[in-house]
Amino acid sequence: MLTRGNVSELQKKAKYIHKSQGNLKKIASMNFEDCLKECQQYISKVASHTYRRIDDLKKKREMTERYIIDYVESEKPEVEGFSELAALRNALIDEITQYGPITDAMEDPEIDEIRANGPQQIFVERYGRTEIWDKCFSDREHMERIIAKLIGASKVRLTPRAPMVNARTIDGCRVNATHADISPYGNPAFVIRKFKKTTLSPVQMIKEKSFSTNMYKLLSLIPRADLSWITVGPTGSGKTTLNEMLIKQIDPLCRIITIENPAEYRLLKYRNNDPHDRVINDVLQYESVAEDDDASPATMENLLINAMRQSPHWIGPGELRAPGEFATALRAAQTGHYFFTTLHAEGDKEAIYRFLTAYLIKSDEPAELALRNICAAVKFVIFQEKLADGTRKITSISEVRGSNGLIPDIQQIYKYDCLDVEEDEATGKVVRIVGKHRRVGSISEETQQKMLKSGIKRSKFEFLTLPVMPDEEEDYDIDEIQYTI
């Protein structure tokens, strides 16, 4: 005989039913946290490329709300505590589109990075300078809920057994979060790196004196002449932004394959500059997984090996880290491919030596032979730094001419000289670094021949062959380079 209590018990047991294969199929209601994760994964899966490129934050929020509504209406999830889908929809919209005390920072286009070292310790980076954020989380639990929301679109969880997580938000911001258990203060922490949806143009960078007009002319000739290059510098110095600008100088019909983790380059060109029209450049972009991710073969090294079989003219690993990646990149350069990449180093020679050190971990070649091969592959090293006033500047452009034994033969073409520092008299804080760019060398005959063979008129690079004048001043005249953009 069935009683009310028995019926209730049967209903609980009926939460799952057995499928013919022996698997369990979920048919009963889920809790709100599970629904939230499912909704975030739904948005991450169905979100279009156009959605990720939207600059208008209000428009992006509206599109996010539409995705949430689509999820609720199509999936009709049964969630504990929500008898009506309208109430569930509103709760999901509030939970997904709001980030507590960092909501304004997430939506502020001037803020590039958000760092939280605990509930009461939030910092943001704006125009290269760090500021204390004036809002805080109410407590540790509040902060942990926001972290769960930030990483919810990725299939990862932050737990004591997995205390470090790399993930991305629904709209593509990169997140690194750590669990409270590994903090001596018992606090969770996170860093959000926001990638600008629009790339800085050469005109803007010249106006900000990141480089001079003549430096830009040289930079634009490097990819056009099939001269492989490495962009180096500290974290946050703008290496990826600079590389993206250089890559766009490559002929649209020269096949480019990039591999990044996460994907940051925005390289697709559309007919009539319309994102809904046809793509007109031959670009293939991949996103690699971490080297220690045993669940996927799509590591940087494996994707580099695969890229060589896909007829690329250029191969662009976003950043070389592991020794195998350096070895594979060099092999690509030795088998007829041109390449560009970034790595962390403190200068041009240091970059070559770092390449050599990493390569020798994987190779039995004599060091002198390995260095000669590296210097034959890498033609230019561009060094970029973020200065104390928050500005990002190219502080060196160097041509790699070969090697002498274990010493790379490097000729610096341009450099940035710091002359003085302007301070705020009241606070003593740095207002501006005073300095200037200047040409200190000339390009080699070999590079001149390479440019000519690539169809570049001598008049476009002849200024780089002239003797250096001691008092030569670099200018930042944007009118002179308009025709090349």
Task: Answer whether residue 135 is part of any domain.
Answer: yes
Domain co-membership, 283 together with 238: yes
Could you tell me if 362 and 339 are in contact, meaning their C-beta atoms sit under 8 angstroms apart?
A: no
- Asked whether residue 462 is assigned to any structural domain, the reply reads yes
Do residues 262 and 174 lie in contact, with contact meaning Cβ atoms separated by under 8 Å? yes
Same domain, 50 and 149: yes
Instruction: Name the one residue in this structure whose structure tokens are 């002498």.
Output: 404
The confidence score (pLDDT) of residue 32 equals 86
Q: Are residues 446 and 341 in the same domain?
A: yes
Q: Is the pLDDT of residue 445 over 90?
A: yes
- Report if residue 295 sits inside a domain: yes
Structure-block tokens of residue 450: 């390479």
137 and 230 belong to one structural domain: no
Domain-ending residue, one of 171, 193, 215: 193
**C-alpha distances out from residue 262 to 24, 40, 258, 298, 440, Å:** 35, 19, 11, 12, 36
pTM: 0.76
**What is the DSSP track for 66-127?**
HHHHHHHHHH---BTTBSSHHHHHHHHHHHHH--GGGHHHHH-TTEEEEEEEETTEEEEEET
Q: Are 193 and 345 in contact (CB under 8 A)?
A: no
pLDDT at 482: 57
Please identify, among 140, 171, 193, the residue that sits at the C-terminal boundary of a domain. Answer: 193
pLDDT digits (tens, 9 = 90+) for 147-162: 988 887 666 789 999 9
CA 354/CA 348 separation, integer angstroms? 10
> What secondary structure does DSSP assign to 460-482, as a single string?
GTGGGTSPPPTT------SGGGG
Sign of CA dihedral 366, 371, 372, 376: positive
Looking at the fold, whether 302 and 428 belong to one and the same domain comes out as yes
Residue 375 has pLDDT above 50, yes or no: yes
Cβ(119)–Cβ(143) under 8 Å? yes
CATH number at residue 422: 3.40.50.300
Residues 138 and 230 both lie in one domain: no
Q: Which residues contact 428 (CB under 8 A, 6 or more apart)?
A: none
Residue 11 has pLDDT above 80, yes or no: no
| Paired tokens of 44 | 């991450």
List of residues 6+ apart from 304 with CB closer than 8 A: 259, 315, 317, 325, 328, 329, 332
- Do 173 and 210 share a domain, yes or no? no
Q: In this model, does residue 270 exceed pLDDT 70?
A: yes
- Same domain, yes or no: 144 and 219: no
Residue-wise pLDDT tens digits, 210-248: 999 999 999 999 999 999 999 999 888 889 999 999 999
What domain count does the chain have? Answer: 2
Q: Which domain holds residue 60?
A: 24-193
CA distance 244 to 269: 13
Pick from 404, 410, 346: nearest CA to 378: 410
In a domain, 13, yes or no: no
